[in-house]
């Protein structure tokens, strides 16, 4: 099956812009034959489309301002506020369905069930 937002764990497409830094490292390890957990990547395109569909870009930019705590700049409060904003939004049916299908395709695996309940 072809996905728009999902790549296999051992993908050859290790673009930082597509799967992020952690994904890039895992993909390289998997491709090198190292033992990595079975799974898949949700690409950065899913994030970008989620932000666009929910019209969040401007709000996120406005929230992404540091606070001065003591003599240090901190983004902790901004990150918390952005996280709460995102948690209040719904994923599109397309993204949700792709995650569900990729999760179900992990044949023979016993992935943790706690995360899947939120998209059921």
CATH of the domain at 27: 3.30.1490.20
Is residue 100 scored above 60 in pLDDT? yes
- Count of beta carbons in the 10 Å neighbourhood of residue 114: 7
Task: Report the C-alpha gap between 85 and 59 in whole angstroms.
Answer: 9
Tokens of 46: 């899913």
| Domain-located, residue 110 | no
- For the chain, how many residues are written? 120
Q: Is residue 42 part of a domain?
A: yes
* Mean pLDDT across 88-105: 93
Residue 43 resides in a domain: yes
The verdict on residue 116 lying in a domain is no
Domain of 51 in residue numbering reads as: 6-103
Mean of the per-residue pLDDT values of the chain: 86
Q: How far apart are CA 47 and CA 80, in angstroms?
A: 17
- Domain annotation covers residue 10: yes
Structurally, the chain folds into a number of domains equal to 1
- Residue 69 placed within a domain: yes
Regarding pTM above 0.85, the answer is no
Structure confidence at residue 36 (pLDDT): 85
3-class SS of residue 68: strand
Does 90 reside within a domain?
A: yes
Which stretches within the chain are classed as H helix?
Answer: 16-31, 44-53, 57-63, 76-87, 93-104
Q: What is the pLDDT of residue 112?
A: 54
Q: Are strands 72-74 and 6-8 parallel, antiparallel or unpaired?
A: unpaired
List, in sequence order, every residue forming a beta bridge with 74; answer none if it has no partner.
67
115 falls within a domain = no
């Amino acid at each position: 099956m072809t996905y728009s937002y999902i790549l296999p764990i051992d993908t050859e497409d290790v673009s930082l812009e597509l799967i992020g830094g952690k994904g890039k490292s895992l993909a390289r390890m998997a491709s090198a034959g190292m033992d990595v957990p079975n799974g898949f990547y949700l690409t950065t395109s899913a994030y970008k489309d989620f932000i666009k569909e929910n019209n969040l870009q401007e709000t996120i930019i406005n929230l992404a301002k540091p606070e001065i705590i003591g003599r240090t700049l901190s983004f902790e409060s901004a990150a918390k506020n952005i996280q709460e904003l995102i948690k209040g939004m719904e994923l599109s049916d397309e993204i949700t369905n792709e995650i569900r299908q990729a999760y179900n395709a992990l044949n023979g695996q016993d992935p943790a069930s706690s995360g899947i309940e939120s998209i059921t």
